[in-house]
Amino acid sequence: MKIVADENIPFARDAFSTLGEVQLISGRDATPAMFRDADLFFCRSVTKISRALLDGSRVRFVATATIGTDHVDLDYLRQRGTAFASAPGSNANSVAEYITASLLVLARRGGYALEGKTLGVVGVGNVGSRVVQKSQALGMRVLQNDPPLARQTRDPRFVPLDALFEADFITLHVPLSREGEDGTYHLADEAFLRRMKPGAAFLNSSRGRVMDGKAVGRALGDGHLSAAVLDVWEEEPVVDLPLLARVAIGTPHIAGYSFDGKVCATEMVYRAACQALGVAPTWDPASVMPPPQCPRLELNCAGRPEEDVLREAVLTVYDIEADDREFRAIPSDPSRHRAFFDRLRKLYPERREFHNTRLFVHGASPGLERRLAGLGFRLESPARSD
């Protein structure tokens, strides 16, 4: 059995070789010839799964090691009888940690506290729900908007989009959809951005085309928005350089790129393939996961503002500003953007999630300990730190 897999899927050869012969490829450079004699294909979001790519091949199973599926022609796969799987929720915690770090950086640069500020979350699925939890741990008031969930559950916590425009921050966590009453293409357009409170900040780590990038640039340029954090770009891997120059934090679609999240996605699509093939899974990622770079962190909390402690813990484990600095070295020539963008993603540092760090806090109140735990850290008694 021949298996083709994106080379950027962690442990792809280790996992998928238990099922057959593995060929690793650059997902952005996939061509029909690569799949003529392939049986299984494991991709990421840079590969467009379509008739043009797979017609004439013998591929019978396709899986994307991502939460989004807008790069996959699902109708075509159904028509040809090809089994499909994705990895919903695999990197949700990673994205929520990215948003947490972003908010803490914005607050430090702006000289204000997050506690008591209002965050509007658009899309409260796997990712958005974790953003809500962590933002509440930061002491923020959170407004939640999710029309499909609102109709399905009738839960009063879901408010209309109009209610979010009073927020100090709005963050998007929606799939890209061009059709239906819940279409999200250019959801954050000129009118949306102008309805945001003057001086508010805008964050997008979902899909580039759920925003109008030019409108974001104008709202930043004339001061209507105080800041923006963008992990996604309308024409990526080509990047709008004037927009990048104006945003507070810009990154190359890596919000969900924690090592834990990527390995979780590998395991999810591997197990889906095993189920489709009717074989028992034998690969266990726990046996190959490396130790975290920050396994232990000790903090003195006495006499310090709680938010400073939260910020130190978060930014020690995840230095989001380093990601921003790396990205700003992008060449001015758009023809070189793709290679630069893909290199940053391929060589992205091994970022581990907060739960891998044992946190010892001295002089912390029970409230601060709850907030740190709410962000995902494993708290241990300072008495046991020896």
| CATH number (domain holding residue 167) | 3.40.50.720
pLDDT above 70 as % of the chain: 99
E strand spans, 79-125: 83-85, 118-122
Q: Is residue 255 part of a domain?
A: no
Type and span of the H or E element at 157:
none
Calculate mean pLDDT across residues 56-66. Answer: 96
Catalytic residue annotation: 207, 236, 253
* 272 lies in the same domain as 154: no
pLDDT at position 79: 96
Q: Is residue 21 part of a domain?
A: yes
pLDDT at position 384: 45
Q: Is residue 216 part of a domain?
A: yes
Calculate mean pLDDT across residues 217-230. Answer: 98
CATH number at residue 338: 3.30.1370.170
* 321 lies in the same domain as 264: no
* 80 lies in the same domain as 196: no
From the list 332, 333, 318, the residue with the least C-alpha distance to 259 is 318
Calculate mean pLDDT across residues 79-94. Answer: 96
* 33 lies in the same domain as 175: no
State pTM to two decimals.
Answer: 0.92
* 101 lies in the same domain as 216: yes
- Sequence-separated (6 or more) residues with CB below 8 Å from residue 97: 134, 258, 314, 318, 353, 354, 375, 376
Phi and psi, residue 231, nearest 5° = -105, -10
CA angle 140, 145, 148 (to 5 degrees): 150
Calculate mean pLDDT across residues 302-321. Answer: 97
Is residue 117's pLDDT more than 80? yes
CA distances from 312 to 142, 304, 326, 361, 370 (A): 23, 11, 21, 12, 16
* 132 lies in the same domain as 196: yes
Calculate mean pLDDT across residues 2-6. Answer: 97
* 127 lies in the same domain as 270: no
Calculate mean pLDDT across residues 123-147. Answer: 98
Is residue 287's pLDDT more than 90? no
Is residue 385's pLDDT more than 60? no
* 121 lies in the same domain as 195: yes
* 101 lies in the same domain as 225: yes
Helix (H, G, I), strand (E, B) or coil at 58: coil
Domain count across the chain: 3
* 350 lies in the same domain as 214: no
Which residues form the domain of 21? 2-86+260-287
What confidence tens digit (pLDDT) does each residue in 43-56 have? 999 999 999 999 99
pLDDT at position 386: 41
* 246 lies in the same domain as 114: yes
Q: Is residue 362 part of a domain?
A: yes
* 139 lies in the same domain as 36: no
Is residue 382's pLDDT more than 70? no
